Structure 1
């Protein structure tokens, strides 16, 4: 399809994760305790500590906002027969460094984070924050969830109890990411923008009412000019009281300069001539909701653009992002060919990977240690 509204990879990634984690989920339901891992992870449930000043003088807030730099993370899609866990380790090996954020996708009624996810979060000497996307609807419409569907509410309550007994660490939680291309504007459809807003609020507030205090809530948009220009776009936002971070998912690809050019800075605040009233996602988010940290929850550069263009995009990140100070997390989408973007995979030996790693060590992008 055209670059106006890139299609998503949702079905494949959700089914893949569901299959890969079925055994771990079943074990988690039987006992809410996790065993130690051979990589040095701990099965103990640590008590969350208050943010502390790190050795380099930077701090991490209660909402996981670094006072300097930006977290770097990845959703490392499995290649071939890899599991999601092995894919993450392979991505880190290709990068020659640990990620700050490990990104995974989940759906009810399965409980999360799974054992593998927790192992990576707690791994000795390699702690990682978790960014967990969650679709809680279980086949119901957004309107039905918002009204308190009994089965969905029971699953939310089970998840709340699981988090309290199994994973007390702070983590990022994105409730039903990228809703824009699922909107059905007709009244009564169950999928209007206002239905989405009500669904998100219901889920977030129910978790809070059940005692969940460690979830840092993320509102994750596609963020393209096409969707931002829709008359219902403003109705999606759930409210500052239930949104801690605002995220978008920009990609760099294709032959159109509006999509392929401008580097990462151009992508995160992309405008298009066809939508003259759209100011760019970063401009929109920071003007409508000042003070909210911004996350690129998915982003990537198509390999077909060539090594020189990829190197240029990665290499200019420190200078470009200096003009976007609210960007506090960059979570890469690492995958082979997918429509319409292409292949965003980062491979060991790529010159562009070396340029990216160097950029991530810059003063603009180097974050504090993961708390």
Structure 2
């Protein structure tokens, strides 16, 4: 899915309706680059000085570094240099084997962190905050306020970074993948890479997501795009971040769950050395939407998961939600967190809920019973060792 109002992370009806068949079946391909460099700080990860509801993950040992250069004259550190915050070292989000986070997309957040008040009251504090950012239109520049708000909240930021102009549909020749790969938008991409590098804390970049169906300008099969051009554009943008030293950015390759008519995952996969995470999206529209009826969490994700898990890389559910109508949403949530995730698909380590009332009420707090089910089961899933 995607947003419609530039710069504010809101998702419009046009993009929701485009998900008509996103929920069924599927095979796929995948993988993710083993991240190098630093890791999340021990405070941020273990939550040593934060409330338990804001804890993220266990800290990991830092990657091995080269021996220091020999110096003929010791050079003291500048006295004006700030003391590094141990919670936010320069490094990517590297999960431990027991890491489990749940997060949300919540309209208005993180520009206004108070927008999370409703979900906090209902189910507690998310450990990841997800929002959407187009490459063109008002608000397309990197906003450090958002990143800092998430940092102060104690959560992991995840940005769906959409290489197109917000609201202009799929026919956008200036944003054809061949143009991206040729460097037409390098200045913009570099400005983001430098801004995220300077932020210093871990950031997940969900670049050009759900590229396997034809609903976005960066997808294969629309806007003159081919799978090969997608791979080239991904690698090009990813390399810009490496060139600019943005080692704290993790790139999440995030297709939609496969269904009849989607481009095969293996044609779109950028390669192990170019990907840090694998993400998947899936929604249960129940009887409210013509998306295949009531779809249980496990059968919805499992066909794609079974293919992607073979790459042995960290995995996340980048978008998921369920309607109240057509089945039992509370039971759906319970089965997801007590059975499907821990027992059937344990490699999913992050689950981000799409928490908006748009077209249908996707919110986790759409009813007291659904909120209760989430509270009772998501916390147990987070604490469970696979």
Normalised by the length of structure 1, the TM-score is 0.71
The match for 1:76 is 106
**How do 1:275-294 residues align onto structure 2 when only pairs under 5 Å count?**
280-287=303-310, 290-294=311-315
2:181 maps to which of 114, 121, 146: 146
The total of aligned residue pairs comes to 299
How far has the Cα of 1:191 moved from its partner? Answer: 1.2
How far has the Cα of 1:91 moved from its partner? Answer: 2.0
The match for 1:34 is none
For residues 287-330 of structure 1, the C-alpha deviation after alignment (integer angstroms, 9 at most, x for no partner) is 3xx21122110000012235xx1111111222221221111110
Contact 1:69-1:367 within 8 A present in 2 as well: no
Contact 2:324-2:366 within 8 A present in 1 as well: no
Contact 2:284-2:294 within 8 A present in 1 as well: yes
**How do 1:61-72 residues align onto structure 2 when only pairs under 5 Å count?**
61=60, 63-72=93-102
CA distance in 1, matches of 2:111, 2:186: 30
Compared CA separation, residues 295 and 71, structure 1 to 2 (3 A): same
CA distance in 1, matches of 2:261, 2:126: 30
Q: Aligned pair 1:211/2:239, yes or no?
A: no
2:142 maps to which of 108, 112, 118: 112
Compared CA separation, residues 135 and 119, structure 1 to 2 (3 A): same
1:318 maps to which of 338, 342, 362: 338
Compared CA separation, residues 367 and 16, structure 1 to 2 (3 A): farther
CA distance in 2, matches of 1:49, 1:11: 29
CA distance in 2, matches of 1:210, 1:194: 25
CA distance in 2, matches of 1:222, 1:102: 19
Compared CA separation, residues 85 and 294, structure 1 to 2 (3 A): same
How far has the Cα of 1:94 moved from its partner? Answer: 2.4
CA distance in 1, matches of 2:344, 2:113: 35
CA distance in 1, matches of 2:179, 2:291: 42
2:157 maps to which of 125, 130, 134: 130
Other structure's SS at 2:246 match: coil
For residues 273-296 of structure 1, the C-alpha deviation after alignment (integer angstroms, 9 at most, x for no partner) is xxxxxxx11011113xx2112211
2:116 maps to which of 72, 83, 88: 88
CA distance in 2, matches of 1:217, 1:248: 13
Compared CA separation, residues 281 and 349, structure 1 to 2 (3 A): closer
Contact 1:335-1:345 within 8 A present in 2 as well: yes
2:374 maps to which of 356, 359, 363: 356
Contact 1:314-1:352 within 8 A present in 2 as well: yes
Contact 1:66-1:367 within 8 A present in 2 as well: no
Q: Aligned pair 1:12/2:35, yes or no?
A: no
Contact 2:286-2:295 within 8 A present in 1 as well: no
**How do 1:253-272 residues align onto structure 2 when only pairs under 5 Å count?**
253-255=285-287, 259-262=293-296, 264-269=297-302
Compared CA separation, residues 361 and 236, structure 1 to 2 (3 A): same
The match for 1:277 is none
What is the aligned-residue RMSD (CA, Å)?
3.1
Q: Which runs of 5+ in 1 are unaligned?
A: 1-7, 19-46, 270-279
**How do 1:330-349 residues align onto structure 2 when only pairs under 5 Å count?**
330-338=351-359, 342-347=360-365
How far has the Cα of 1:179 moved from its partner? Answer: 1.6
CA distance in 2, matches of 1:224, 1:85: 34
Contact 1:248-1:295 within 8 A present in 2 as well: yes
CA distance in 2, matches of 1:93, 1:315: 19
The match for 1:237 is 269
For residues 213-269 of structure 1, the C-alpha deviation after alignment (integer angstroms, 9 at most, x for no partner) is 1001101111132255x4x5421111111211111111112248965233x222222
Q: Aligned pair 1:171/2:203, yes or no?
A: yes
The match for 1:3 is none
Q: Which runs of 5+ in 2 are unaligned?
A: 11-37, 49-54, 61-91, 166-173
Compared CA separation, residues 185 and 104, structure 1 to 2 (3 A): closer
CA distance in 2, matches of 1:66, 1:225: 31
How far has the Cα of 1:164 moved from its partner? Answer: 2.5
Contact 1:63-1:244 within 8 A present in 2 as well: no
